[in-house]
Amino acid sequence: MDSAKRTGSEKALSSHSDSEKKDSVHVYCRIRPIRQGNEPTNSIKLLSADTLSLTGIGSKVSRKETLYQFKHIFTAFSSQSEIFNHVAYPLLDDLLHGKNGLLFTYGVTGSGKTYTLTGEQNNPGIMPRCIDTIFNTIGDYQAPKCVIKSDRMNGFEIQSEEDALQDRLNSVRHDKFAKTQRKESEKISYLNDGTKIQNVNENNIYAVFISYVEIYNNSVFDLLDYSSGKTLQNKILREDSSKNMYVNGVLEVEVKNAQEAFELFMSGQNRKRMAATSLNSDSSRSHSIFNIRVVQLEQVILNSNGEPMIPNENRIKIGQLSLVDLAGSERTSRTNNTGMRLKEASSINNSLMSLRTCLEILRENQINKSKRLVPYRDSRLTFLFKHYFEGDGTVKMIVCINPCIEDLEENIQVLKFAEMTQDVKITKAEVKYTPIKRTICKNKENQTPGKPKSSSSYAILPDMPIVKLNLESVEQCQTAIDKIIKTLKLRQQKSKSLDKEIDEKHSIFRKRLVDFNQDIVLNKAELKSLKTMIHKERQKSRNLQLKMTDLESVCQDARSKSEEQDNVIFSLKNMLNEKDLKINQNLLDKEKTKQKLALANEKMTQELDAKLRRQREHLNAQLKAKDQKLRIVKEIIDSEMPPVEVHNPEPEFTPKSHESQTSQTPKSASNILQHRRNISSSARNRRSRSAGEVWLEHNVIKPCPLGTVMQPTMKKRKSVSKLDKASDVTNPKQNRYCLVAQEPDTDGEMETKLYKGDIVPTCGGGAQVIFNDVEKLRQESPTKEYD
């Protein structure tokens, strides 16, 4: 059939031989050389060209030795050309014969996936070698530019020479605009080794189309579309008439040589998301897909000028090769990513997990013959390549391994996935032919020259012979009649065969109409369900918009309240600052006042000590003078009177004054003792003045207890050791002041002195102390002898 889509009967017939036409996914392994600074691991051992073993030597957890088998294993010494010949060359052969192919690299970050596909200028990878090989093969058999045109719906159409010329002019303008957008660094050339594909049909003409997309955070972007400037626009995925997924509106650029393809690749590579991580300085943050589509027209004939002509009844073959550079799987514990890098790593790991899940379910369905739904829609990556896994091309995978100790755990997961992938069976695709789509030329006179349309497939009835009847000749008339009868019989036989053919065509056409009607009914049901879903989504969208409006109003109110609170907080902070300033000022003033009081107290204490010292010296001098006088009086008495027995071993006497002693006559010892007793009793009676008063007791030092019977009596008193506050003195309840001091006298005996005074308020609201009495408390031995 001309249609690329097979009918249900063809699928039923081919289902009996599916087991013979299925082929597993081809999985290859490439081991990267050890980089400087990385510690190698001896856990990977190469047993043969397609088998390696992996143990847990060098890791924290010991593991048993496990064998992994691949289609082929490329060691660290394998060249880029060797990998191309084993993996990509068969895919290019299928591509130039109208078949599809998918090749993607898989592995941990920094394992050499991008290098395997891209390589270097002097040592190109798979992608440059594929482009060079294609143009080395079909360089002389290319169709004129813009004759074959993409319809932006995963198909192609043939347009007239006039429209092609107009598109060429537009493409020149677009190329000038695109070159201004590109950088000079995008111009790059790779080493061409001249490889060609053999057994290519030289009667066909070819056209090569390039597209470059990336899947970033589960969104699809066209890296070659400069229509929106530097900002990349999100694209959607759709299904074409052949149930193949494609990127809607993707820009497919027709290239005529390898250099143009390389410039397009570098243009997209510069727009691809790349970032530096702790594991790789140029880590891919997205899955990149480089598509090469080769369109070929069959049975091309040449006109009189030697130029190719496109017949009306021709067909086209479309082959596609997708080179996928998968982003490397990452562990956050190793990369320590945060922010946007963490979100990118999460999206990458989710898409790779979806790929694993889809392949696992495919394998289970094939092994158990179940019909479990494969979740292709969970990720844009699996949804885009859905038709490849369902039998629309050859699928190959290159697993890249970095044999260092740090990547050992990740390599184990990669090898497990590769082992599982090899069990998935892919149906071998057949070459598909697509009818030519022709655009209507605006000028009918300048249509593309070609062979005129053939007649209908129905045979034309034999023409009735033109005979002339000659009534004079009966034989001639009989011959003519026989000829007419023969022609009528032939026409009758031919009409019967035509009727039979018409009936067959009618039944076939009716069957096709029934199939189309069923498809229409299904499409209508699906359309109805989609409309219902769209209606629900619109309703949800309206509800979300209403909620968003309400949230915006709430947010606005919250902002206004927040601004008011900020103003209040600002004013409160100003008040706090002012109060802090005042508190600091008060503290400074108090500190200054304390310093002044301390200086005043120290000065007053020094003055009091000096005054007490002077008074003590004066009293000591008086006592010495009195003792001297008493000794003189004693000598006089002893010289004039006879000795008298005195029971008191030390008679004491105290003269009233120096003048009275000199004027009075000597008395007896008993009179002198009686006189001293009267003096001491009168001195003791003065202590009664402290009764009923409120005292402020100022203990400059802590006095030592003497244990005497006579003690100072102050029933109502307040004791302080230091006058820190003015209120200690200015308290109106206090009217008496007592300063307690203790020091040894001239004889070395401890003596307690109480300096008493009245607290008198002053006119300024303060108070002053007027000292008016001194009390002394001391102990003396009765056997003490005076000098």
Residues placed in the known binding site for ATP: 107-114
The secondary structure element, H or E, covering residue 294 is strand 287-297
d(CA 220, CA 274): 16
Binding-site residues sit at: 107-114
Question: What distance in Å separates the CA atoms of residue 268 and residue 251, rounded to the nearest whole number?
Answer: 12
The dihedral of CA 576, 577, 582, 585: what is its sign?
Answer: positive
Burial class (CB in 10 A: 0-12, 13-18, 19+), 309: middle
- With beta carbons less than 8 A apart as the criterion, state whether 245 and 238 touch: yes
Going by their DSSP bridges, the two strands 148-150 and 156-158 should be labelled as antiparallel
Burial class (CB in 10 A: 0-12, 13-18, 19+), 765: exposed
* Contact predicate 45/24, CB 8 Å: no
Is residue 750 classed as helix, strand or coil in its secondary structure? strand
Alpha-carbon distances of 648 from 84, 670, 783, rounded to whole Å? 139, 10, 10
CA distances from 650 to 642, 669, 747 (A): 18, 11, 17
Neighbours of 94 (CB within 10 A): 18
Contact 251, 345 (CB under 8 A): no
Q: Label the pairing between strands 205-216 and 156-158.
A: unpaired
Q: Of 269, 137, 259, whose CA–CA distance to 195 is shortest?
A: 137
Beta-strand pair 51-54/301-302: unpaired
- CA–CA gap between residue 233 and residue 672 (Å, rounded): 130
Cβ-Cβ contacts under 8 Å for 208 (sequence gap 6 or more): 134, 135, 138, 142, 254, 255, 256, 261, 292, 293, 294, 295
Structure tokens at 351: 């898409």
- Which distant-in-sequence residues (6+ apart) come within 8 Å of 285 by Cβ? 216, 273, 274, 275, 327, 341, 344, 348
Q: Find out whether 144 and 164 touch, Cβ atoms under 8 Å.
A: yes
Q: Which of 289, 322, 325 is nearest to 398 (CA)?
A: 325
Joined tokens for residue 112: 């050499």
- Rounded CA Rg of the chain: 60
Which two three-digit tokens encode residue 316? Answer: 């086209």
Pairing, β 237-239 against β 234-235: unpaired
Report phi then psi at 633, rounded to 5. -65, -40
Strands 750-761 and 245-247, how do they pair?
unpaired
Phi, psi of 91 (to 5 degrees): -65, -40
Asked if 104 and 58 touch (Cβ cutoff 8 Å), the reply is no
DSSP 494-518: HHHHHHHHHHHHHHHHHHHHHHHHH
Query: What whole-number distance in Å separates Cα of residue 352 and Cα of residue 772?
Result: 104
Which amino acid is it at 609? D
Contacts of 564 (CB under 8 A, 6+ apart): none
CB 497 within 8 A of CB 460: no
Q: What is the rounded CA–CA span in Å between residue 445 and residue 433?
A: 30
Question: With contact defined as beta carbons under 8 Å apart, do 43 and 57 qualify?
Answer: yes
